[in-house]
Amino acid sequence: MLIDAKLLPLKKRADDGDPVAQVKIADAYYQGNGAPLDYEQAKKYLIKVSANDPNDLPLYGYGTLLYTIGELCYHSGQMKEANEWYQKSKDYFHETYEDEFGNKLISDYKLERLIAETERKIALQ
């Protein structure tokens, strides 16, 4: 399946470096909505977004972005990468919200469990 013609201008903006367009096109690939379901393409665009200043990301909380990249790696069987992105997400939440809210986000995303799970799977490889 090719990308829907309606998404081509969005993809062009994403390829030109627009972080909002990158998030939207990544979501299209992640959901298979107007684009083929393709976790690698979704991950590629989200990694580009993650290179931006965290304060410049209006559509995605930066910690959530890092977590989502971890999820894409996990579902693609890339445990080492998933573990690294989950850890980055946990560290970001912890450093940015040095209070109960940061701990709640870490808990809500089950980051401790996901980090331990990916570490076990890496050890078995």
HEC string of 44-78? Answer: HHHHHHHCCCHHHCCCCCHHHHHHHHHHHHHHCCC
More reliable by pLDDT, 2 or 117: 117
Confidence at residue 3, expressed as pLDDT on a 0 to 100 scale? 92
pTM above 0.85, yes or no: yes
Q: Is the pLDDT of residue 60 over 60?
A: no
Task: Tell me the per-residue pLDDT of 10-55, one tens digit each, with 9 for 90 and over.
Answer: 999 999 999 989 999 999 999 999 999 999 999 999 999 999 888 8
Residue 82's CB is within 10 A of a number of other CB atoms, namely 24
Report the length, in residues, of the chain.
125
Nearest-angstrom CA–CA distance, 15 and 25: 10
Which residues, 6+ apart, have CB-to-CB distance to 59 below 8 Å?
Answer: 20, 23, 24
- Based on its alpha-carbon atoms, the radius of gyration of the chain, rounded to whole angstroms, reads 15
Q: Which residue has the higher pLDDT, 60 or 122?
A: 122
CA distances from 90 to 4, 7, 43, 97 (A): 35, 33, 18, 11
Determine contact, residues 122/79, Cβ cutoff 8 Å.
yes
pLDDT in tens, 68-115: 999 999 999 999 999 999 999 999 999 888 888 889 999 999 999 999
What percentage of the chain exceeds 70 in pLDDT?
Answer: 97
At 58, is the pLDDT very low, low, confident or very high (cuts 50, 70, 90)?
low
Structure tokens at 79: 């445990």
